[in-house]
Structure 1
């Protein structure tokens, strides 16, 4: 093993100057995936796979983030609808500020990508900074993360901070993840075939995976602590958006009034946050969020697109894993 001052002999992921020494030392002790797995080296920490930089953000957030009782934390695995749910949650919480006709044209969602409006803990706030300035955030503060339940900062668990979790059918999640990562990686890094991605995903070796374990952690927490954890399904939000928005509004402390319902306030949010509307906005068709073009966050947003990609053998394998993983819990996706 190379010493800490012999950086030229260290793997590339340990030469990243933005990694803390704590993170570098931890990584040296962790199981590490093949460097071609999802085009990055992944590290197994507390049963889940992380890139070095994301693990660095997780460790910093766990050490420094202090949740407030009024905070709302949006959690989802990668490519399960996070961008959409950020838009929905922001629109719900801020609707009173932009309800008047003359203010609707100035709605932040028309001018900024949802990822700019609700920051990620480990991707944005604590990726490099141990003490980001959160003083400008109004209550309720809204944050997002891909962290599994066991990796959340202790202050989130100890406070009355509410957690909204979004899950998605694993077959659609896999297809969306495969498309997204091939879009955002450089040509020099190459791309992955669907067969390669499928095998890794099924073995649980994917960013923040195994996916099924990630889902189960929050599903069980939602049963044990329904006032703290709300468990949502992507498919149900697409099929019954008005019903699901009412549930989310009630849980997040901003229920719809009878007048809002009668005046079509819920329908306004559904239209504003629809995939069709968001994907065609100029702000979501140009520019970048971190290393990804903003348009890469909007592919199809469809339920069941996996039928256009997976073979019968793939479908059988992933359904078998899902059945085995979720059988005892009774969860169905």
Structure 2
């Protein structure tokens, strides 16, 4: 078994070496163009293992997102909904003592090592199982797309997504060797060269699926979730068929859930102020501002004009659009 696994890993390393590669937004690691998306090199093995070996269950729930689009918040909200019956008390909830990324794992990351053990632990997880992923819809394992499991996708105005990614990259630059300037990173983003990008095809893959199969994919915008959190969390509750929707005190419970997962609440928890995720990023860096429209403080008029045209061009005819406040 070990020999076969070693041989497979070598074949996949050789495959990765044949793929087009670019330096990522964060100045590293390399991104490899695989199945029409830019896969970070340290995820490559995990993505292939995920596609080949993951067995979805019909009651699985996936939180999907393009990086830096509101993933942390959506993980927290979905975790509290999915596990409402297990953790009904908001006074000693797991979210008060664990970072959302520790509670909701991405198979493409955890399956990159100790494959046999990880697959065993995944199969033994308490149901319904909750996972996250950054992988484009078209590259998800068939057992996910062909099963009855549910996917909640969040996207964000590409201007704000870029700024969030840029700011995050400045916090972890010491880990990587190639520091990019804001302008260099912007050019890459305009060309779709960022982890799991292009951002437009990532969004459109889930957007189109949400239109075709609204019972399979719930599509959310970060801006809408910020503007009317109660309404959209109710949509999540109903989409997941949660018992909260049937409870007499359902609205109060939803408000308590929202308060527990609020940006300020999570940012000020001791567990999110110190320590690292995967020895690369400090937990506090996952809670920067959480604001809508902060990008206006970063872009020059010519950048705004260029990027607005790209957004319009890439999303044209899809029905998906974003407000650009300038």
**What do residues 138-166 of structure 1 show as CA deviations (whole Å, max 9, x unaligned)?**
11100001001111111101211111111
Q: Which residue of 2 aligns with 1:62?
A: 51
- Give the Cα–Cα distance (whole angstroms) in 1 for the partners of residues 27 and 176 of structure 2: 14
1:22 correspondence with 2:11: yes
- Mapped to 2, the partners of 1:171 and 1:303 lie a distance apart of 10
Aligned positions of 1:163-202 closer than 5 A: 163-186=151-174, 189=177, 191-202=179-190
1:105 paired residue number: 91
On the 8 A contact 2:25/2:193 being kept in 1, the answer is: no
Match of 1:219 in 2: 207
Counterpart of 1:14 in structure 2 is none
- Judge which range, 303-312 or 31-40, deviates more: 31-40
1:155 aligns with 2:143: yes
The DSSP-based 3-state class of the residue aligned with 2:195 is: coil
2:126 pairs with 1:138: yes
String of CA shifts for 1:39-98, please: whole Å, max 9, x gaps.
321110111111211121100111111000000111100100111100000111222333
Q: CA deviation at 1:292?
A: 1.2
Matches of 1:36 and 1:273, distance apart in 2? 29
8 Å CA contact retained: 1:178, 1:192 = no
Q: Taking structure 1 as reference, are residues 134 and 322 closer, same or farther at Cα in structure 2, changes over 3 Å only? A: same
Give the secondary structure class of the aligned counterpart of 1:137: coil
Q: Which moved more, 1:170-179 or 1:39-48?
A: 39-48
State the shift of 1:34 in Å: 4.5
Question: Are 2:81 and 1:92 aligned?
Answer: yes
Q: Give the corresponding residue for 2:3.
A: none
Match of 2:30 in 1: 41
Contact 1:64 1:130 in 2 (8 A): no
Shift of 1:128: 1.3
**Aligned ranges 1:279-290 → 2 under 5 Å:** 279-290=267-278
Aligned-partner Cα distance in 1 for 2:284–2:63: 21
Deviation string 1:105-153 (CA, Å, 9 cap, x unpaired) is: 2100000000111111112x21213231124421110000100111111
Measure the CA separation in 1 of the matches of 2:170 and 2:259. Answer: 30
Q: Does structure 2 conserve the Cα–Cα contact (< 8 Å) formed by 1:37 and 1:205?
A: no
Change in Cα spacing, 1:36 to 1:87, as seen in structure 2 (3 Å) is: closer
Contact 1:182 1:192 (C-alpha < 8 Å) held by counterparts:
no
Stretches of structure 2 that go unaligned for 5 or more consecutive residues are: 1-5
Distance in 2, Cα, partners of 1:76 & 1:24: 26
| Residue 114, structure 1, aligned to residue 100, structure 2 | yes
| 1:23 CA displacement | 2.1
* Secondary structure of the corresponding residue to residue 219 of structure 2: strand
Asked whether the equivalents of residues 63 and 151 of structure 2 are also in contact (C-alpha less than 8 Å), the reply is yes
Is 1:328 the counterpart of 2:317? The answer is yes
- The alpha carbon displacement at 1:330 in A equals 1.6
Q: Which residue of 2 aligns with 1:126?
A: 111
C-alpha distance in structure 1 between counterparts of 2:230 and 2:23, whole Å: 44
- How far apart, CA to CA, are the structure 1 residues paired with 2:79 and 2:259? 14
1:80 aligned onto 2:69: yes
